[in-house]
C-alpha cells in the first residue's frame, strides 16, 4: 500500500518536470547549470519554481538568460532505475 502511494506521487511529480532549452544554440542547460549540452540525457531537469530561481539568480549577476522552459517528458517509468528492491 505504501509503495503504491509513493509510485503515484513519483508519477505525479515527474509530469511536472521541465528542462531549460536555449533556442538560439538549440541546446539544453547542462545538469550542472554551468554549460550547455545537445542531449537531453545530460540536461538539467527540475520544477518550474527551481527554473525561475536559476533565472532570477543569473539576472541578479547580470548574466543573460536565453532559456525557455520545455516539458521534460518524464513519466514514472523514467524513475524505475532509482527504485530500491
- Report pLDDT digits (tens) over 18-66: 999 999 999 999 999 889 999 999 999 999 999 999 999 999 999 999 9
- C-alpha span between 55 and 20 (Å, rounded): 10
pTM for the model stands at: 0.69
pLDDT class of 73 with cuts at 50, 70, 90: confident
- C-alpha span between 26 and 34 (Å, rounded): 16
What are the extents of the domains in the chain? 2-73
- C-alpha span between 26 and 61 (Å, rounded): 24
Rg (CA), the chain: 15
Name beta bridge partners: 30. 43
For 40, phi then psi, to 5°, come to: -65, -20
Amino acid at each position: 500500500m505504501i509503495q503504491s502511494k509513493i509510485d503515484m506521487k513519483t508519477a505525479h511529480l515527474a509530469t511536472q518536470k521541465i528542462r531549460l532549452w536555449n533556442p538560439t544554440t538549440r541546446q539544453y542547460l547542462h545538469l550542472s547549470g554551468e554549460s550547455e549540452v545537445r542531449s537531453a540525457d545530460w540536461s538539467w531537469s527540475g520544477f518550474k519554481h527551481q527554473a525561475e530561481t536559476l533565472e532570477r539568480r543569473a539576472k541578479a549577476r547580470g548574466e543573460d538568460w536565453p532559456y525557455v522552459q520545455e516539458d521534460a517528458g518524464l513519466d514514472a517509468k523514467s524513475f524505475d532505475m532509482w527504485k530500491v528492491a
